[in-house]
Amino acid sequence: MVNKKTIEDVQMGGKRVFMRVDFNVPMDEDGNIADDRRIRSTLSSINYCIDHGAKVVLASHLGRPKGKVQEKFSLAPVARRLGRLLNKKVGFAPDCVGAETRSMIDALQPGDVLLLENLRFHPEEEANDEGFSRALAEGIDLYVNNAFGTAHRVHASTFGITRFVPVAVAGFLMKREIDYFEKVISDPVRPFAAILGGSKVSGKLGVIKNLIDRVDKIFVGGGMMFTFLKAVGLEVGNSIVEEEMIEFAREMQEKARGQKVMFYLPVDVVIADRIDPKANTKIVTVQEIPSDWYGLDIGPATCRYFSLALQGVKTVVWNGPMGMYELDPFSRGTTYIARTVADCFATTIIGGGDTADAVNRAGEADNMTFISTGGGASLKLLEGKNLPGIEGLTDRDD
């Protein structure tokens, strides 16, 4: 990992440890946790602290309450689930700051665990307010950032707090995420392929710029493929296009050719007369998209084309679905690529967010080498940028 201290570099017996975790889990309509993978991913770090006699204070956000207390975004159900997973009582504080919360923290004994209420019930969290950062840090001996999914945010609990604690270190999950992305960017086993999807080129601009100098093959799908297709002179109907990105798309394809990077665009697409799961659909070549239809997925010929081109690669990074995978008629391309990547005899690294969700829906999550827990944070690393949540941590002495 970068030259920052980790959870293994510090003594924590009897100390109050404030661990920023990412418990932003999906909830169903009845307020039950629909997927607890993010909770499970933190267990090794939490158990490490418990086993070493720390007094553990956990803090997270859930959803987007926009600085207001909203019952549907309470972390109370998470505290109950975490207690079952740890097989021990997990205390729950009604707020993340204030006198009552402070007294609950003061009462902790070595090995105890306390989860604070949603950080984002306070607008000061996202504003990285100094006073709020100080309040979170009050009485804390050690800060652990184990929330990779928020490491790209300059928030009070991910960045501001590090200025007011004696030492700040990375948890096991954070370390693992950084190590994977550092290795794949700096020293990948080749051939190295990047699969990029999602709706917009502008959202992947930095990633494309950084990866084009590092990969051997780039595959483009999702909504962003239509900007690239238009850049080579094709008509794409009502499909999503970022006109201001067309010149960039053209330049990147030319740069790839100049650097002998193979650049793969779809050869056929699934189109629909409207964006609706009950819409009329058909499969056409990329040269035959009608003017009033929408391209919503890569087609079967593209699936086979991409699959053959992925044969023999040794490292694959995938960020962004191949189509509007949330709707069944337009999910097949993403599912096919998920299965192809899973079957590669390669190190396979899946960017978080929609890509992780798509891989899970395809039933291939267990067949990937590594699935990131953070979509936005993984994008920043793929762009070659530093993360605020890492920058604020304490440097190693060596």
> Hey, which residues are catalytic here?
38, 200, 353, 376
Question: 92 φ, ψ to 5°?
Answer: -135, 120
Residues in CB range of 269: below 8 A, 6 or more apart: 225, 283, 284, 286, 289, 295, 296, 297, 298, 299, 302
CA distances (Å), origin 63, targets 86, 112, 121, 331? 24, 26, 10, 25
Residues in CB range of 273: below 8 A, 6 or more apart: 279, 280, 281, 292, 293, 294
Residues in CB range of 137: below 8 A, 6 or more apart: 18, 143, 161, 164, 165
Helices (H), the chain: 37-40, 43-51, 76-86, 99-106, 123-126, 130-137, 172-186, 205-211, 225-231, 246-258, 300-309, 332-343, 354-361, 375-382, 388-391
CA distances (Å), origin 225, targets 16, 286, 397? 50, 10, 47
Read off the amino acid at residue 281. T
Question: 271 φ, ψ to 5°?
Answer: -120, 160
Contact 215, 194 (CB under 8 A): yes
What the block records as the tokens of 207 is 């990633």
Contact 37, 352 (CB under 8 A): no
Phi/psi region, residue 363 (left: phi>0; alpha: psi -120 to 50; beta: rest), is left
| Residue for token pair 């929609």 | 354
Read off the amino acid at residue 69. V
Q: How far apart are CA 212 and CA 380, in angstroms?
A: 15
Read off the amino acid at residue 93. A
CA distances (Å), origin 394, targets 2, 78, 182, 344? 11, 29, 19, 38
Question: 380 φ, ψ to 5°?
Answer: -60, -40
